[in-house]
Structure 1
Amino acid sequence: MDNSKYLKKIIIDKVAGDEVIEVEDVTIEEARLNVFLNGNKAISMMCIPLDQEAHAIGFLMSENIISSVDDIEEITLSENGLRVDIKAAVDASSLDNLYKEKTLVSGCGGGVTGNIAGSVEVPFNQTNFVVAPEIISREVKIFYRDSELYMLTGCVHKAMLYLEDGSTVTSEDIGRHNAIDKVVGKCKLKGIDTTKSVLFVSGRLSSEMVVKAVMHKIPIVVSRTAPTHLGVKTAHTHGITLIGFARGKKMNVYTHSGRVIR
């Protein structure tokens, strides 16, 4: 994929000790994506204008506003890529809840959610899906190695779903929560089952990151960094295996370790 169109060249002063050099650098593009649902504006999101349809669908399904891709009648992306129009059957109470709660999440990019910890009513995840620790270690290494936009800019987060058949789906964005919505949205639009998968994310595992896994019935979530206390509590309550500090052959399994340690 050609990522050059999401990069903007700038001139900076590079300081190294007493030396100052004027050099060309690159920054990542950030844009405001407007999502319209059945003719009405649902939300605006600051993001990389990449995988916009998947982003919109992933977000709306994370919030339980759209329950299934079968409920989607039409998705249209504007010519400039900054507006997604969706026609779909919606859960009116979940849409109202998004506007009522409108909680600013701790993830990068200033996302908003109506699914605050403690208010999510989803059955406990009882899947028997398991994964070997060596697979976690291997995929973490691949996850951080194959991240082109991050290597170019140092300014993006990444999400990856490792699926039951060993294949992966990835997305990148300036926001951790956006990256998750995008990767889940890609899977949903392609009819890929996420209930037997591992979600790898960059950055800390705060509660709203875990809630997204809860809403999509993703049983295992992995990061190279730490979870918050509420993130651990949310994972424990909803049956999510939460893994942090996954580096090399080491990892901390905070909840429901039976899916990994056997």
Structure 2
Amino acid sequence: MEVLKHIQIVRFEDGERIEREDVVILESRVNFYLNGEKIISTMCIPQNQEAHMVGFLLSEGVIEGIENVQSVEVSEDGLSVSMQAKINSNNLKNLYKEKTLVSGCGGGVTGNVENSVQVEFNTSPIKIKGEWVLSHVKRFYQESELYLQTGCVHKAMLLFCDDSSLVSEDIGRHNAIDKVCGMARMQGRDPNEGILIVSGRLSSEMVTKAVMHHIPIVISRTAPTFLGVQTAQKHGITLCGFARGKNMNLYTHTSRIC
């Protein structure tokens, strides 16, 4: 589906009004259907919809592994995704019962409130060089196609130690993480073997998504919140913020980066 739209605007520049064409991103309501029942609607860029639904339900603990997904299909108009899967019914109930408006753009919701889903402490032995991380953070921003065209999206990248990566962009930073994690699972790749680079601030619900996908290292060029730091500390996540140029702040479990 085409996600860029061309419109006519008036630009005010150096005291003059200039008529010109501009490019804006397509924002759509996409409906998720699980085992024949509608479970939620999300405002997002209508691309990578299968991965989005897979990643979201893994983030919420509704499906406990990609092996539990029997099928996932997108409608012809791209606005509905239907999945057949073995599910955790209690965590699906949490999605409705404990629905919390998250702090990110796009107004997402989560049922995965603190202590509602139990996850093992992340003991990944991965170790990486700080210089290597920062070189990829620089590339992360230079190669953001939709952002460069519209200035209107967030980005998430799963980066692996062999320099391969998976990338997603969306109007919502939470959506971008769900999509890239869903891509990894659908391709048989383990997020526990990679690091997550994101464009947004590191709030608690952003870190919780990394916890749920067993990602050991999370990096952003912006700041964490105090609860984000606490969540990372509790679950064994290495949290890095203000990764810019030759510098970054390491907040938790710092021995993974040297």
TM-score, reference length from structure 2: 0.98
Q: C-alpha separation between the residues in 2 aligned to 1:102 and 1:214?
A: 19
- Secondary structure of 2:52's match? helix
The equivalent residue for 2:90 is 93
Q: 2:234 aligns with which of 225, 228, 237?
A: 237
The CA deviation string for residues 64-101 of structure 1, in whole angstroms up to 9 with x for no partner, is 10111111111111000111110000000000001011
Alignment of 1:47-126 (within 5 A): 47-126=44-123
* Cα offset, 1:107, TM superposition: 1.0
Ranges of 4+ aligned residues in structure 1 off by more than 6 Å: none
The equivalent residue for 2:12 is 15
* Cα offset, 1:102, TM superposition: 0.8
Q: 2:150 aligns with which of 146, 149, 153?
A: 153
Is 1:171 the counterpart of 2:168? The answer is: yes
The CA deviation string for residues 189-229 of structure 1, in whole angstroms up to 9 with x for no partner, is 01101112110000101110000000010000000000011
- Secondary structure of 2:50's match? helix
Letter of the structure 2 residue corresponding to residue 63 of structure 1: E
Q: C-alpha separation between the residues in 1 aligned to 2:238 and 2:115?
A: 18
* Cα offset, 1:45, TM superposition: 0.6
Q: C-alpha separation between the residues in 2 aligned to 1:179 and 1:254?
A: 23
- Secondary structure of 1:97's match? helix
Moved more, 145-154 or 17-26: 17-26
* Cα offset, 1:119, TM superposition: 3.7
* Cα offset, 1:118, TM superposition: 4.5
Q: C-alpha separation between the residues in 1 aligned to 2:254 and 2:47?
A: 35
Aligned-residue CA RMSD in angstroms? Answer: 1.1
Is 1:41 the counterpart of 2:34? The answer is: no
Residue 221 of structure 2 contacts residue 241 of structure 2 at CA under 8 Å; is this kept in 1?
A: yes
Q: 1:213 aligns with which of 198, 210, 221?
A: 210
Q: What is the identity percentage for the equivalent residue pairs of Structure 1 and Structure 2?
A: 58
Q: C-alpha separation between the residues in 2 aligned to 1:142 and 1:7?
A: 23
Aligned positions, number: 258
Q: C-alpha separation between the residues in 2 aligned to 1:27 and 1:116?
A: 34
Q: C-alpha separation between the residues in 2 aligned to 1:91 and 1:76?
A: 20
- Structure 1's unaligned 5+ residue stretches are none
Is 1:133 the counterpart of 2:133? The answer is: no
The CA deviation string for residues 8-59 of structure 1, in whole angstroms up to 9 with x for no partner, is 1111111123211111111000001100000000111100000000000000
Q: C-alpha separation between the residues in 2 aligned to 1:200 and 1:42?
A: 29
Residue 33 of structure 1 contacts residue 44 of structure 1 at CA under 8 Å; is this kept in 2?
A: yes
Moved more, 158-167 or 168-177: 158-167
* Cα offset, 1:61, TM superposition: 0.6
Residue 91 of structure 2 contacts residue 117 of structure 2 at CA under 8 Å; is this kept in 1?
A: no
The CA deviation string for residues 139-164 of structure 1, in whole angstroms up to 9 with x for no partner, is 10110010110000000000000113
- Secondary structure of 2:61's match? coil
- Secondary structure of 2:40's match? strand
* Cα offset, 1:120, TM superposition: 4.0
Q: C-alpha separation between the residues in 2 aligned to 1:119 and 1:76?
A: 29
Q: C-alpha separation between the residues in 2 aligned to 1:165 and 1:11?
A: 44
Letter of the structure 2 residue corresponding to residue 134 of structure 1: E
Alignment of 1:219-258 (within 5 A): 219-258=216-255
Letter of the structure 2 residue corresponding to residue 69 of structure 1: I
Q: C-alpha separation between the residues in 1 aligned to 2:136 and 2:112?
A: 29
- Structure 2's unaligned 5+ residue stretches are none
